[in-house]
Amino acid sequence: MESRRILAQNLKKYRLAGGFSQEDLAHRAELDRTYISALERSLYSASLDVLDKLALVFEIKSSDLLSEEAHAPGAAAEDQGN
């Protein structure tokens, strides 16, 4: 799977698991909401600095955002259809 698609999926998974809207996440990470939206749709690549900002908000390692096996808190229940 390509890195942009992995980031998009993980970003949305962590954002929803954390209870953040795109606007909330953008504010906390000091980014623009439209940029968050574009990342979640695989339109843009993210710099290492952006990955670090997002990881800081989620309290994870930035590498977790690029992991194909990333598991956001509460994601297991979502994966099981609950």
pLDDT of residue 77: 41
Collapsing DSSP to helix, strand or coil, 72 comes out as coil
- Residue 80, pLDDT above cutoff 50: no
> Residue ranges of the alpha helices (H) in 2-66?
3-17, 22-29, 33-40, 48-58
pLDDT of residue 42: 96
Reported as a single tens digit per residue, the pLDDT across 25-75 is 999 999 999 999 999 999 999 999 999 999 999 999 999 999 998 666 654
Q: Please give the share of the chain, as a percent, with pLDDT higher than 90.
A: 82
**Residue in the structure block whose two tokens are 């908000």:** 57
pTM: 0.83
